[in-house]
Amino acid sequence: MDPTVLDRSIPELAGLVTRGEVSAEEVTTACLDRITKRDGALGAFLTVQADEALEAARAVDQKRARGEALGPLAGVPIGIKDALCTRDAPTTAGSRILLRPASKGEAAADPRRGFRPPYDATVVARLRAAGAVLVGKTNMDEFAMGSSNENSAFFPARNPWDPTRTPGGSSGGSAVCVAAGLAPGALGSDTGGSIRQPAALTGTVGIKPTYGRVSRYGLVAFASSLDQVGPFAADVRSAARLLGVIAGHDPHDQTSLGAPVAHYEDACGRDVKGLRIGVPEEYFAKGIEPAVEKSVREALAGLVSLGCELVPVRLPHTRYAVATYYVLATAEASSNLSRYDGVRFGARAEGAEDLAALYARTRGQNFGREVARRIVLGTYVLSAGYYDAYYLRAQRVRTLIRRDFEEVFRQVDVLAAPVSPTVAFPLGERVDDPLAMYLADIYTLPASLAGVPALSVPCAPTPAADGVPSLPVGLQLVGPPLEEARLCALAAAWEGISPARGSRPKVSGA
């Protein structure tokens, strides 16, 4: 089989397998071979489940041989962010605290010793039911806390456009998996931008659905009122197909919405003429790199050429989004991560003389610096005397941010803005400057706080200059609740004329 088949879109690849023009086993073998040759320099995967993937691929081929109908993802290899539970593979959430103790001769930090869940996350089960082949668990910032993938307890993922630079985070491994052609699609999670920002920095498509549109059951929790699962793909139609598979009500998730699932893939051919596109002035303020702003404004001009109307709008409470997010998200994290105590599962410190010492040692030895920082901050804002001053006030500001979006969507159909104020930055540049790292998500946090859908689609990359290579830039499209189909339609229309269409990084390996 020609290995470039892996570079086809997900609908095309599934069609080839369904028609028998290529077998799922051949596709999976080519995918695993590509991972072996390419991923050593990129770090996209924490673990690869080769045997299980080949077994799943053969099951697809056998099903076809029996004349049974195949699912919409028949034989398509997919990477899974390691925050999602998988019954046949370890789950670490990028943390040492979910590793079993090392035996003699084993490495201290080996993700293959991760916690083995007894069940699949709902989105994982839906992928399997659709015929997808799950090839491995992708790298991530520990407990999804980070914007560069450098908070992984194991090793950082590297941007395939320039391996000295970050792919973004926290779903950096999933973004690299798709950008480097290791698999046609991947799942990530987005709490404050962790799908959209890595998608923008790696030149892929990433979708953060409406809060509750996709089940969180089986997702290792960071901030439960913000976490959402979504897809990465190389093109909009592929991402739309993945979203259509994983979306829908789930009785296991009490925040899951019961609204019918739209036909996202069908929407990709829809005419977008007449759509009113809001351009929020707050997203083009001081701090955005000139080359990024130029690329995004060229994309806005492209939307006008498609028949859309640009409308200047304001989201006045955007300036409070970073502070609001880091109060609320850390407060929820301090509660969610209290379950990691060395008693029930995962790592356990040795030599503790009492229960309090066991808790302290286990967490102190196994939580990374950023996770510890956020737990401390979250515990502080929830403590007596500070709850009203910080947490309750942040909740009120969150309501104001949500009202900003409600008001603006009475005037326009979609918002268009940058995803990130910068292109991918060098690894190590912001590790010791948490505030600079937090500001990487300044344009993605408002949509997360409001719970509205948003996606990143590539626009023109920056030109190479002064030794810096050409790097991807993402256009962010934000819609009203449950209007993912509208976003897919507009993104696909833009993709059809985008100068970034079909561009991929040059990656060593077959």
What pLDDT is recorded for position 509? 64
Who's near 11: CB < 8 A, 6+ residues apart?
237, 238, 241, 265
Tally of domains in the chain? 1
333 in a domain, yes or no?
Answer: no
Indicate if the pLDDT at residue 105 is higher than 80.
no
Tens-digit pLDDT profile for residues 42-54: 999 999 999 999 9
Quote the pLDDT of residue 508. 67
β-strand pairing of 473-478 with 309-313:
unpaired
Is position 362 within any domain?
no
Q: Residues, the chain, total?
A: 510
Region of residue 236 (left: phi > 0; alpha: psi -120 to 50; beta: else): alpha
| 272 vs 295: CA distance, rounded Å | 21
- 8-state DSSP, 116: -
Cα gap 96→112, rounded to integer Å: 11
- 23, 170, 256, 448: the catalytic one is 170
Using 50, 70 and 90 to split pLDDT, how confident is the model at 100? confident
For residue 240, what pLDDT band results from cuts at 50, 70 and 90?
A: very high
pLDDT, one tens digit per residue, over 292-325 is 999 999 999 999 999 999 999 999 999 999 999 9
**Residue 388 domain-assigned?**
no
Q: Has residue 3 got a pLDDT over 90?
A: no
pLDDT of residue 510: 55
For residues 504 and 428, the model is more confident at: 428
What 8-state DSSP symbol labels residue 420?
-
Q: Write down the catalytic residue from 95, 148, 174, 194.
A: 194
Mean pLDDT score, 233-249: 98
Range of the domain at 307: 10-99+108-259+286-321+396-497
Whether residue 170 lies in the annotated active site: yes
Condensed to tens digits (0 to 9), the pLDDT of residues 130-140 reads 999 999 999 99
What confidence category does residue 101 fall into, taking pLDDT thresholds of 50, 70 and 90? confident
Both tokens of 249, joined, read: 């009500």
Q: Is the pTM of this model over 0.75?
A: yes
Is the separation of the CB atoms in 85 and 119 below 8 Å?
Answer: yes
Residue 220 lies in a domain: yes
pLDDT in tens, 386-430: 999 999 999 999 999 999 999 999 999 999 999 999 999 999 999
239 in a structural domain: yes
CATH of the domain at 313: 3.90.1300.10
For residue range 139-156, what is the model confidence (pLDDT) as tens digits?
999 999 999 999 999 999
β-bridge mates for residue 233, sequence order: 185, 205
In a domain, 176, yes or no: yes
Given the residues 23, 81, 147, 498, select the one marked as catalytic.
81
Instruction: Please give the span between the terminal C-alpha atoms of the chain, in angstroms, as a whole number.
Output: 13
Residue 508 domain-assigned?
A: no
CA–CA separation, 186 vs 88, rounded Å?
17
User: Is residue 194 annotated as a catalytic residue, yes or no?
Assistant: yes
